Amino acid sequence: MSKRPDILLICTDHWPGSLLGCAGHPCIQTPTLDSLAGAGRRFTRAYSECPVCIPARKTLMTGTSARTHGDRRYIDGQPWPDLPNLAGTFSAAGYQTMAVGKMHGWPQRWRLGFDDVILSEEGRIQWGVVDDYEADLARAGHPGEAFGHGMGNNHYVARPWHLAEELHVTHWATRQMCRAIHRRDPTRPALWYLSYIHPHPPLAPLASYLDFYRGVDLDEPFSGAWSQDPDLLPAELRRAQSGARTWNADYVREARRAFYALCTHIDHQLRLVIGTLRESGDLQNTVILFTSDHGDMLGNHGIWAKRHFLEGSANVPMILVDPRPEPRVEAGSTDSRLVGLQDVMPTLLDLAGIAPPGTVEGLSMVADSRRDHLYGEIDNGAFHPRMVHNGRHKLIYYPEGNRFQLFDLDADPQELHDLAQTPEAASVLTDLQARLAESLYGEDRAWVRDGRWTGAPEPQAGYWRAPRADPGLAGQRGTHFPHPQPRPTERQETGP
């Protein structure tokens, strides 16, 4: 049997870095992840450089920035870049590789370099592909009923799961991964990628996990003074707040309760994966890394979902465990170095003793080298923000209206106080603006002229005050039996 380590990479969808008991959250229950953090290292300044699903996963799988892999937008049906990737690099080094869960590749059955993929794609069957999860639901006597609960993939309406517990997609993915571990070739090291769909909506957790939080005094969303007056906000944040202004306290509380329930369900299911590794004799030789493609604002500052560089959306969990005698991953430690999803691939390769491809831009999180700043971008055009972070201070730029926000995350982790206009932060603001200007490329460079930030015109007053119409319920899924006929490639840019 090989002495090279096995690798278990776990990625969730929409999990904010603050939603961990070990991070000091007042009510989330994550005993398994807390135990993993106690056995390894938790990176507190971990970020999604482009906090939306497809670009973030391209960064995770290639170890490159959005500028290099060429995607900072959410567009379904777009081929992935021709770059060395995580699974292909491990395969070339002799690893067997298996992925379970959400991949978000194109075409849907493309394996992203893995030997095999057991797929669940959030009901994306419009291109004629029925994923393995929906096929198993049909075999269990429930064809097309994955979304029978009626909840949508981009909404925060909540209700309990509608089928038997064992048919929930979190249960399904866990058992598929356990089966993959049982079926491994014992003569070769393994890379396992477990990609959970949740806590991304739909918010339809098991009733038992909703009940788990019924007696809990849930924390409420927090808001900085800067977020209280929509007329003073950048246009992008006015839009983000507009859809939730009519939500009452009960709606918000139930959405957060359901979200927490989905997190705890995943946390508990991970115990089965860890138990399978232990009983198969693999656990003591398995490097485990847990992260997420991005977070979710969950109502903080009046904002929900992703696509922002505020902490709830951009900061992600990053827990690394190496049970071998590896002094670079000290048990029970935290690390405040600035890391991104691009660092996952080189870190795992480093711990496996494999040289990263020359295209990789990320840094190993267990090496001595550290970055002094991290750049973040999302989507094209002046409506969308950019970010630069130096490990303590974070600058967010909104080109429309030429607006800046500056936060001191050491003193103000909830981003309640915007320092961009304060005299005491002027030198920090100037330094980060310079770093941001150096990071811009392409059409974005037009926002700086002759060394001065000019940005782009702001929309007329009141443009985003009224909630936008949403007659299609932002990609609501329907019944999937009989299966819809394949459609031409659909470029959907409103979100997954």
Q: pLDDT tens, 186-209?
A: 999 999 999 999 999 999 999 999
Quick check: is 343 in a domain?
yes
Phi, psi values for residue 389, rounded to 5°: -135, 135
User: Which pLDDT belongs to residue 1?
Assistant: 40
Determine the structural domain holding residue 164 and report its residue range.
6-364
User: Which pLDDT belongs to residue 339?
Assistant: 98
CA separation for the pair 60, 362 (Å, rounded):
10
The torsion region of residue 122 among left (phi > 0), alpha (psi -120 to 50) and beta comes to left
What is the signed CA dihedral for 44, 45, 49, 50, rounded to 10 degrees?
50
By three-state DSSP, how is residue 137 classified?
A: helix
CA separation for the pair 137, 116 (Å, rounded):
20
Quick check: is 398 in a domain?
no
User: Which pLDDT belongs to residue 494?
Assistant: 42
Quick check: is 369 in a domain?
no
Model pLDDT for residues 298-324, shown as the tens digit of each residue:
999 999 999 999 999 999 999 999 999
Low-confidence ranges of the chain (pLDDT < 50): 1, 490-496
Quick check: is 390 in a domain?
no
Q: How many domains does the chain have?
A: 1
User: Which pLDDT belongs to residue 489?
Assistant: 52
Contact of 263 with 23, CB cutoff 8 Å: no
Phi, psi values for residue 385, rounded to 5°: -80, 165
**Mean pLDDT rounded to a whole number for the chain:** 93
Quick check: is 306 in a domain?
yes
User: Which pLDDT belongs to residue 430?
Assistant: 97
User: Which pLDDT belongs to residue 39?
Assistant: 97
Quick check: is 468 in a domain?
no
Strands 286-292 and 6-13 come out as parallel
Query: 306, 313, 213, 220: which is closest to 263 by C-alpha?
Result: 213
User: Which pLDDT belongs to residue 258?
Assistant: 98
User: Which pLDDT belongs to residue 496?
Assistant: 44
Contact of 190 with 184, CB cutoff 8 Å: yes
Quick check: is 326 in a domain?
yes
Q: What is the 3-state secondary structure (H, E, C) of 67-80?
A: HHHCCCCCCCCCCC
CA separation for the pair 426, 105 (Å, rounded):
43
CATH number (domain holding residue 109): 3.40.720.10
Structure tokens at 149: 């609960």
The alpha-carbon radius of gyration of the chain (Å, integer) is 22
Label residues 299-326 b or e (16+ Cβ within 10 Å = b): bbbbbbbbbbbbbbbbbbbbbbbbbeeb
Quick check: is 213 in a domain?
yes
